[in-house]
Chain A
């Protein structure tokens, strides 16, 4: 009797081990496929024997020449443009989104539901539809080409209030009685948001900041037509893309890869630093538990 159940037990364990192994092998294969392009770009950026595309991956001669060469181009200017645009957008958009979400989560006003539906439907239209009219408006305001940075910031934050879904959903899970207790304790609505809700919603604030930063950081389409051929108004994506035209690619391919690595660095650092806030559940103990 005992040996039978022991055998059964061993059988289940063996089956578990096998399925775990298969799953892990699969995951490893997927991550290798995922990582290969990135590894290639890093390796290409360190290749100094030639500047054009070659048929091999491992460089024959290693060096940082490509990174040094970046400084002799307009790249630092583009990088700065992108950084300013992304940082300002991230800050403003986060403030707008959080205020919007708090309002929709906590206040009850007549047009609340129609407003939410309206924004949902509006959000279904692709943003590209607004391209031509946005360009006309920004051109009239003098915010294109050399002045593309403030123009781009305007474009990015203009509709940011519509991205309230995730944070509103999170705010909805924070008990309303916390707001009420704080209001009785003497807090204004703004103080409730800053002192009670946001500390509890740390992960969602960081999520909002990251997504708001990533949009402008990697944008090509809007940035390309608003800067419209003026190099001093371009962001990295638009500027670097010009290195890939048929007449330039042979001189600039490895430098392009170096630029790509430099662009990726802040994002990688951001994600590595902020990752731990993603999973922090701080609401425990707020109410009966």
Chain B
């Protein structure tokens, strides 16, 4: 149990590629922080610098107030779970989990109780005498977690632990990690490229791109008030609709005009626009697919659109449509909201009308791609 503090951390590889730029983050004791971003964004590198597997080019990493830059991984009191599990193939599951305890020269009876205890929590007691190759992916991942668990370390690091599992198992293990976190009650740093994992697991999410932190915040914060276009598009699935449009100001009220429609910006967004006195002009408008409204008949403030792809997800439909100006939109509609007849009419090329409410819009600067409101 410990805090982790990264100050101006930078990673420059030998070939002068800068993988991480000026990374600053304060992770509180017992906090669950998720680093998320596309591949190559530096999230794993940052985690590996905390672990001591990667040299820190500049800046400092502190664990529990102690600068650990020059400490070997074994002296940092951390535990780590790897993407490919990294189980020792020549050892049984028991020996795998006991490895670190044996290196600490603990008495065998203490090791036995720790290992069996961890195995019980993870439900792998029956496999303790098996070799890793005789286990399924999910079981291997549990062993890897068990190996990290028994160390009672200050910080628990996880590097994409679920990305080698199939989708169903991944959901199940995600829930198990939440339970595990409650049991261990320690500081977690979790790396993933999957925004769903980030949203469901993290107390705070660190969104990274090209070695730069884009935003740090709670799942609600990054979802509702993305600081820039990248965060807005990265968080949420399907991704946010983004279109170029004109922001018009009339009598102190703001309107957007995508593809001929004229929709008033209402609610908090409207107030913020006025408060910040944002100038009229071209903006990038963002609307999440679940905030889109679908109509089958023409209607005021609605854009005419044609259906291109209809993805049936079960409980909802993802409709990919394009408007006359060529802009593409995704509309997420709960299946239950549609009549059988309406569902049947959703064939390629079908004429639809789409709009959205005034309070759900996001605005970004077309040049800097920064959120105009936050």
Contact = CB atoms under 8 A, between A and B. Distances in A.
A183 B90 contact: no
A2 to B, nearest CB: 43
Contacts of B80: 180-181, 184
Interface in A141-196: 175, 177-178, 180-188, 191, 195-196
Contacts, number: 85
A284 B73 contact: no
B88 A182 contact: yes
Contacts of A183: 52-53, 72-74
Most buried by A among B73, B89, B99, B104: B89
A180 B53 contact: yes
A285 B134 contact: yes
A287 B140 CA distance: 9
A283 interface: yes
Interface string B152-164: 0000000000001
A126 interface: no
B322 interface: no
B57 to A, nearest CB: 14
Interface in B43-71: 51-53
Instruction: Name the interface size band of chain A.
Output: 20 to 34
B12 to A, nearest CB: 14
A288 interface: yes
B87 A285 contact: yes
A178 B133 contact: no
A286 interface: yes
B82 A180 contact: yes
A76 interface: no
Contact of B104 (A186, A188, A195, A289): A186
Contacts of A180: 51, 53, 73, 80, 82, 86
Contacts of A187: 74, 99, 103
A199 interface: yes
A289 B85 CA distance: 11
B258 interface: no
B85 A185 contact: no
B225 interface: no
Contact of B84 (A175, A184, A200, A283): A175
Contacts of B72: 183, 188
B135 A285 contact: yes
Contact of B133 (A182, A195, A199, A284): A284
B329 to A, nearest CB: 38
B78 interface: yes
B332 interface: no
B137 interface: yes
A28 interface: no
A230 B52 CA distance: 58
A285 B131 contact: yes
Contacts of A285: 87, 89, 131-135, 140
Nearest to B83: A177
Given A183-B53, A288-B137, A282 B84 contact: no
B74 A175 contact: no
Nearest to A282: B90
Interface string B85-100: 1111110000000011
10 contacts: A177-B84, A180-B73, A181-B80, A183-B72, A185-B103, A186-B74, A188-B72, A200-B89, A284-B89, A285-B89
Interface of B: 14, 51-53, 72-74, 78-80, 82-90, 99-100, 103-104, 131-135, 137, 140, 147, 151, 164
Q: In the A-B complex, list the 5 residue pairs whose CB atoms are closest, starting with the nearest.
A: A285-B133, A185-B100, A287-B84, A177-B86, A181-B86
